[in-house]
Amino acid sequence: MPDEGAPSRRASRPAIVAVDDEPAVLAAVARDLRRRFGDRYRILRASSGPEALELLRQTRARGDAVALLVADQRMPGMSGTEYLVEARKLVPDAKRVLLTAYADTEAAIQAINEVALDYYLLKPWDPPEEQLFPVVEDLLTTWEAGAALEAGGVRVVGHRFSRDSHELRDFLARNRVPARWLDVERDAEARELLAVAGVADDRLPTVLLEDGSILERPSVLELAERLGVSGQAAQEHYDLVIVGGGPAGLAAAVYGASEGLRTVMVEREAPGGQAGQSSRIENYLGFPAGLSGSDLARRGTDQARRLGAELLTIQDAVALRAEGSGRIVELSGGATLSANCVLVASGVSYRQLQVPGFDELTGAGVYYGAAITEARACADQEVVVIGGANSAGQAAVHFAGFARRVTMLVRGASLEASMSHYLIEQLGALPNVEVRTDTQAVAATGRDGHLASLRIRGPEGEGDLRADACFVFIGAQPRTDWLDGVVARDDRGFILAGPDVAAGGGWGLSRDPYLLETSVPGVFVAGDVRSRSIKRVASAVGEGSMAVSLVHQYLAEA
């Protein structure tokens, strides 16, 4: 069977590698995978872990991509889990599936943590149309989306420690625009491109588009417009305008569109909001292996669009006003959106650290949020994460896979009061992560235009800590300035809703406000921006879907 066991030169299709020591099972796996995915992927197979590892080395040596690994757990000499541990070193981006018997379920669950297992399948998987194909298709779709980002036709050339370069890279990554980053100081290709294009060093960052055009020092908005990312409203009036594209906003877009409401969602940066920056969300129901915030955003965006919602990105809401039964949202570009109802799901932004040096070095070694675009650039470097909540813990775990050392600076006495137990356990198991409690950064120092060290204060006094990159998670502030004087807010700027509105005496109708309704009838709030909300992805999704039900009630009574 040369088309499977031996490498083929007939195409450069990505590979799916299956390994099982039982010939009948291996043949069945290869047969089913070939029948459904053989037109897009080469199906390679091996009868043992060592044989599969050698096959992976040969495949990678030819420069071919590996999309999926399928391995049986019970193999003599090298178990499926042991094989996946080694295979992950060779093809870290490949999706990983473990084939198990019912008795191996515990080992499969353990493998989720040990090898970042994406899925485990119980044998037999009959019928494959129900038990195998949907799982593999979903994993391959996710892999393809990531591969497209890595091999994209848009090229960005600039300095790594440049705030402007970082903003463009972050915009492209968060909006899932396929693009390649070329560091002018490290990549010979970057210098060659600049020479051919005739671009001077003082015109960086430079973006080379697929149509051959060149943008020198573009703003994010200019790049978005050239790529067609932002979009324009297609209708004059909507049933529902959603401000914010985080989990709450995306959920509302999905439910609103699916239930026949003319729905448009406006997002100032990229779908996914703050959650979209998370390297790994592991406590969201239905995803036992966890998923990245980027993947969650992609899934939610695709689902909302498929159901008929309009999504406008790189546009910010700057004002809200009521005109009779209509609600008008003014956008930063000067356009307006008219609707019967508005859902405010504008979320929160990370609070800035007000100590010497941080403002000057933001984007040049200091980043707010996970800044996943910087992860690979942190290979073998000293990374500092400031903060003690889940977002900080998720970032530390993620960066530990790249950095030489990750140091967490936590102001409090412990992590237990602010971080989930599963994250604390993960951090404790990582040998290159150090957690320093009762410690804070009091200054940042740069060298050659980028971060070099932090001045920290802890139980033993003050000292300097080397830092090649620093990621800050020190709480959040609501994005509600644009609603000042329009809707009632608490003393921290979070929006009051339901009973809190009624208790504050700012409600003028005879009926009580709905649970998520603000002080302006027909304007609702959901997610982190709501006063007293639970800061979790699942609760935001629940509030977003609940808000649509309340919108229906409001429209029925209007």
Rounded to an integer, the average pLDDT of 264-289 is 86
Mean pLDDT estimate for the chain: 90
At 376, give phi and psi (nearest 5°).
-65, -30
Per DSSP, 372 falls in state G
> Which region among 29-43, 110-124, 165-179, 310-324 has the lowest average model confidence (pLDDT)?
110-124
The pLDDT assigned to 290 comes to 83
pLDDT band at residue 465 under the 50/70/90 scheme: very high
Residue whose entry in the numeric block shows the structure tokens 């599963």:
422
Residue 7 has pLDDT above 60, yes or no: no
pLDDT band at residue 6 under the 50/70/90 scheme: very low
Q: Domains of the chain (ranges plus CATH)?
A: 15-149 (3.40.50.2300), 152-227 (3.40.30.10), 237-349+477-557 (3.50.50.60), 358-474 (3.50.50.60)
pTM of the model: 0.83
At 24, the amino acid letter reads A
Tell me the Ramachandran region of residue 498: left when phi exceeds 0, alpha when psi lies from -120 to 50, beta otherwise.
Answer: left
- The gap from C-alpha 404 to its chain's centroid, in whole angstroms, comes to 23
For residue 119, list its beta bridge partners. Answer: 97
**3-state SS track over 97-164:** EEEECHHHHHHHHHHHHHCCCCEEEECCCCCHHHHCHHHHHHHHHHHHHHHHHHCCCEEEEECCCCHH
- Predicted confidence (pLDDT) per residue in 181-213, tens digit: 999 988 888 888 898 889 998 899 999 998 889
Q: What burial class does residue 425 get, using C-beta atoms within 10 Å of its C-beta: 0-12 exposed, 13-18 middle, 19+ buried?
A: exposed
At 82, give phi and psi (nearest 5°).
-60, -40
Angle between helices 293-306 and 163-174 (to 10 degrees): 50
At 417, give phi and psi (nearest 5°).
-75, -20
Residue 546 has pLDDT above 90, yes or no: yes
